[in-house]
Amino acid sequence: MASAPTTVTITGAGGQIGYALLFRIAAGDMLGADRPVRLRLLEIPQGMRAAEGAALELQDCAFPLLHGVELSDDPRVAFDGCGIAMLVGARPRGPGMERADLLAANAGIFGPQGAAIGEVAADDVRAVVVGNPANTNALIAAASAAGVPADRFTALTRLDHNRAVGQLAEALDANPGDVRGVAIWGNHSATQFPDVAHAAVGGAPVVEALAERLGGHDAALAWLDDVFIPRVAKRGAEIIEVRGSSSVASAANAAIEHVRDEQRGTGGATTSAAVVSRGEYDVPEGLVCSFPVTSDGAGYRIVEGLALDDRSRARLDASVAELVAERDAVRALGVL
Ligand code: NAX
């Protein structure tokens, strides 16, 4: 029997990622063919016509799972009864904009949106932040959502995770589906740490498979340090350079997989998501930090007990230091 429709609210729905998200969600790619959806598109007035156009096209797809599309520029309307919030719209860094200005501008978006989620969303609401700086925007939204447990807010690092898997699959001439156990640690930024220490390909440790191909353990470590990590961490810039525009379809795909796995479970597999730290791996409590995670369908859980060697620890610490600096800058604005 078909379930009642889930209300999915997408902010920035008139933008590029929004356009790549809406049709796949309505087709059932995110929640499955057994869960109808009601879409709510939140935009600012400048983005409203684009969102309206997308809504017309959604109608023209006649998706059986789609039980209505509503548009609003008011967060209290758009999040009313919302079960899944995908916070995509954000303020991009403008010319000459300092980090503090960027954080302040986004606090002005994610604070009120978090507050509205606290006031009017469904009791079981879960929210994923895509708009950058994603980790800190999620921190702000979670802190503003009165009555909603902070761990219902996550930020997207699945794109970084998928990028890492894609790079390893290419280097090892493997299918991406055979690469398991990759982890993204830290911030969704150039300081992130893509980690393969616990990853396997076709059952063999990735580091050993790399050593076999590249001519030894040292060559494998050098490739990881000099090629793999910077390429994954700076892939967004590479896409902009080649494509002339930022990642869109891959970002939307990652957001869909993030929500799908959170809601439907990972089947025991590890993936990556930025979630609220409770002090795991000595990451300060409350930070929204990327970790290796699993889900049983009731939210992401951090995979605990993985060994981090000194080099890995130093990389994680550097990214966590950036998250702490972002949090402190937001605190200095009086937001948290
Ligand atoms: P676009 O500029 O195409 O779209 C953003 C949309 O958000 C616009 O339509 C704008 O009108 C709307 N918007 C702005 N403020 C809003 C508000 N207060 N309420 C509702 N809507 C609002 O950007 P797009 O390419 O779609 O990227 C969206 C965000 O994703 C950006 O912040 C981008 O940096 C971020 N990304 C995050 C990624 C991740 O892995 N976490 C990867 C891809 C992407 O770079």
Classify 206 as helix, strand or coil: helix
CA of 26 to the centre of ligand 1 (A): 20
- C-alpha 178 chain-centroid distance: 22
**Which residue's CA is the nearest one to ligand 1's atom 9?**
15
Closest approach atom of ligand 1 to CA 75: 19
CA of 94 to the centre of ligand 1 (A): 13
CA of 201 to the centre of ligand 1 (A): 34
Please give the order of strands across the beta sheet that includes 200-201.
179-180, 200-201, 204-205
Q: Tell me which architecture the domain covering 6-155 has in CATH.
A: 3-Layer(aba) Sandwich (3.40)
Q: Give the tens place of pLDDT for each residue, 263-304.
A: 999 999 999 999 999 999 999 999 999 999 999 999 999 999
CA of 206 to the centre of ligand 1 (A): 34
Q: Are strands 200-201 and 179-180 parallel, antiparallel or unpaired?
A: antiparallel
Catalytic site positions: 188
For the chain, which residues make up each domain, given as ranges?
6-155, 158-328
Amino acid at 53: G
DSSP state of 203: T
**Which residue's CA is the nearest one to ligand 1's atom 27?**
17
* Helical ranges in the chain per DSSP H: 16-27, 48-61, 75-78, 99-120, 134-144, 158-171, 206-214, 217-223, 229-233, 235-243, 249-264, 310-332
Query: Which of 74, 117, 130 has the most ligand 1 atoms within 8 A of CB, as the residue to mutate?
Result: 130
pLDDT at 2: 66
Closest approach atom of ligand 1 to CA 131: 32
User: Which residues have C-beta atoms less than 6 Å from ligand 1?
Assistant: 11-12, 14-18, 42-44, 46-47, 88-90, 92, 109, 130-132, 134, 156, 159, 188, 236, 246-248, 251
CA of 17 to the centre of ligand 1 (A): 7
Asked, colleague to colleague, whether 6-155 and 158-328 share their fold, the answer is no
pLDDT at 96: 85
Residue by residue, DSSP assigns 162-181 as HHHHHHHHHHTT--GGGEE-
Structure tokens at 256: 């869909």
pLDDT at 94: 84
Q: What angle is formed at CA 85 by the lines to CA 79 and CA 86, rounded to 5 degrees?
A: 130
- C-alpha 83 chain-centroid distance: 17
Query: Which of 19, 91, 113, 132 has the most ligand 1 atoms within 8 A of CB, as the residue to mutate?
Result: 132
Residue whose structure tokens are 């799972």: 65
Tens place of pLDDT for every residue, the chain, 336 residues? 568 999 999 999 999 999 999 999 999 999 999 999 999 999 999 999 999 999 999 999 999 999 999 999 999 999 999 999 999 999 998 888 888 889 999 999 999 999 999 999 999 999 999 999 999 999 999 999 999 999 999 999 999 999 999 999 999 999 999 999 999 999 999 999 999 999 999 989 999 999 999 999 999 999 999 999 999 999 999 999 999 999 999 999 999 999 999 999 999 999 999 999 999 999 999 999 999 999 999 999 999 999 999 999 999 999 999 999 999 999 998 888
pLDDT at 1: 53
Domain 158-328 has CATH 3.90.110.10: yes
- Give yes or no for a contact between 90 and 246, defined as CB atoms under 8 angstroms apart: no
